[in-house]
Amino acid sequence: MTNTTIIEQPLPNGAQSDTNVSTNIAKLKMTIPTGRIQEKVLTVLDQVGVSFASKGRSYKPVCKDAGIEAKLLKAQNIPSLVALGRHDCGFSGYDWVVEQEADVVELLDLGFDPVSIVAAVPEELAALGRTAWSSRRLIIASEYRRLTTDYISKNGLDALFLQTFGATEALPPEDADMIVDNSSTGSTLAANRLVIVDEIMKSTTRFFCNRKALEDPVKKKALDELKMLIESALRAREKVLLEMNVDNQDFEALVASLPCMRSPTISQLYGGQGYAIKVAVPSASVKELIPRLMAMGAKDILEYKLEKIVI
């Protein structure tokens, strides 16, 4: 048996020993939206290595990255809470950032769920012409108080704002003369016999942070790296990697026709019988590109999905 001698040194200023003291590491506090954009945000985070373990009905999923602490919140609540510093960063629609005049730093436009914030009136009112409906007293219903009141002021309308809490399109014509709402395709508005008369703004899902979080070197580094990784994952979604072989006589013409990001990766085949080519191309062009490459002499074509493209 080995005898081990432990020599205890006195702590300065009478401090008490604590064997359970943990290193004080600044965790990145992240907010993730519930609802329709949650799955897309979680998918891209998982793609960059930030994944979560569900805790049933809890609003605090456990992140497998020990440096991140997350909470699930409604998208409408996230911009203001991040601006207040209750969280370091979050994801929400740009419309809610503008609506709340949230003082946050936008890090990245993810492009998810593109919508337009529009003003719409019932078909009967639209048929009367803009002069007719804009000169009468209106009740305008919306979840967007600030955007709607700004729209009323900008257009000089005689209108009363009515706050709604979902299903805004159900109010006209009996309970409202106009609505201000988000629309992706316009199909819901059309189904409720509403006509768009103005587009107020466009919105997509944004990744943003609290200004003071960028003053913390540890958190800034984490945010910069997360932004870079998400950008690379989104960029990869637009590309695929094609790998092919080509004989010597077809090589020059085929390479000249490739729509690559930069220059293709080329290596000579064993025995000098041709070349192997790797190239990242737009995924949308693959359907037309592969038959054209085959016609130009490409053989043994392989297509790969990409996880990240870091430029």
The Cα angle at residue 211 between residues 206 and 216, in degrees rounded to 5:
115
**Does residue 37 contact residue 91 with C-beta atoms inside 8 Å?**
yes
**Mean pLDDT for the stretch of residues 149-153:** 97
Band of residue 56 on the pLDDT scale cut at 50, 70, 90: low
Backbone angles phi, psi at 253, to 5 degrees: -65, -40
Residue 8 has pLDDT above 60, yes or no: no
Closest CA to 241 of 222, 257, 225, 265: 265
Tokens of 185: 């395709």
Q: What's the pLDDT score for residue 10?
A: 45
Residues 250-268 pLDDT 10s: 999 999 888 876 678 999 9
- Find the range with the poorest average confidence among 6-15, 206-215, 281-290: 6-15
CATH fold of 115-203 reads D-Maltodextrin-Binding Protein; domain 2 (3.40.190)
Mean pLDDT taken over the chain: 89
Tokens 């943003």 correspond to 208
Return the pLDDT at 121.
Answer: 96
Does residue 7 surpass a pLDDT of 50? no
Q: What is the per-residue pLDDT for 55?
A: 66
Structure tokens at 177: 């003369």
Can you tell me the distance from the alpha carbon of 97 to that of 136, in angstroms, rounded to the nearest whole number? 31
pLDDT at residue 13 is higher than 90:
no
pLDDT (average), residues 262-280 = 90
Q: Under a CB-based contact definition with an 8 Å cutoff, are residues 48 and 66 in contact?
A: no
Q: Which comes out higher in pLDDT, residue 262 or 12?
A: 262
Q: Higher pLDDT residue, 141 or 11?
A: 141
115-203 and 239-305 in the same fold? no
3-state secondary structure of 203: strand
Q: Which of 47-56, 202-211, 225-234, 281-290 shows the lowest per-residue confidence on average (mean pLDDT)?
A: 47-56
Mean pLDDT calculated for residue range 201-225: 96
CB atoms within 10 A of CB 306: 16
Using alpha carbons, select from 185, 134, 179 the residue that is nearest to residue 155: 134
- Asked if the model's pLDDT at residue 1 lies above 70, the reply is no
Q: Which backbone phi and psi does 47 adopt, to 5 degrees?
A: -65, -25
User: Which pLDDT belongs to residue 18?
Assistant: 43
For 195, the token pair is: 């006509």
**Dist. CA 186–CA 182, nearest whole Å:** 9
pLDDT reading at 280 higher than 60: yes
The DSSP 8-state label assigned to residue 270 in this structure reads: G
* pLDDT at position 14: 42
59-63, 117-121, 211-215: least confident range:
59-63
By C-alpha distance, which of 214, 208, 194 is closest to 33?
208
Helix (H, G, I), strand (E, B) or coil at 124: helix
Structure tokens, 179:
């609505």
Whether the CB-CB separation of 114 and 204 falls below 8 Å is answered with: yes
Give the pLDDT band (50/70/90) at residue 9. Answer: very low
Helix (H) or strand (E) holding 300: strand 298-305
Lowest mean per-residue pLDDT among 13-22, 50-59, 258-267: 13-22
The string over 264-286, giving b where at least 16 C-beta atoms fall within 10 Å of a residue's C-beta and e elsewhere, is beeeeeeeeebbebebbbebeee
CATH 3.30.70.120 is right for the domain spanning 239-305: yes
pTM for the predicted model, two decimal places: 0.82
What pLDDT, on the 0 to 100 scale, is given for residue 25? 60
DSSP code for 299: E
What are the boundaries of each domain within the chain? 23-112+205-235, 115-203, 239-305
pLDDT tens per residue, range 101-118: 999 999 999 999 999 999
Highest CATH level, class, for 23-112+205-235? alpha beta
Residue 29 has pLDDT above 80, yes or no: yes
Q: What band does 168 get if pLDDT is binned at 50, 70 and 90?
A: very high
Q: Output the 3-class SS for 5-36.
A: CCCCCCCHHHCCCCCCCCCCCCCEEEEEECCC
* Nearest partner of 303 among 284, 292, 290, judged by Cα: 290
- The average pLDDT across 261-289 equals 90
Residue 166 tokens, joined: 């979902």
Tens of pLDDT, residue by residue over 67-107, are: 999 999 999 999 999 999 999 999 999 999 999 999 999 99
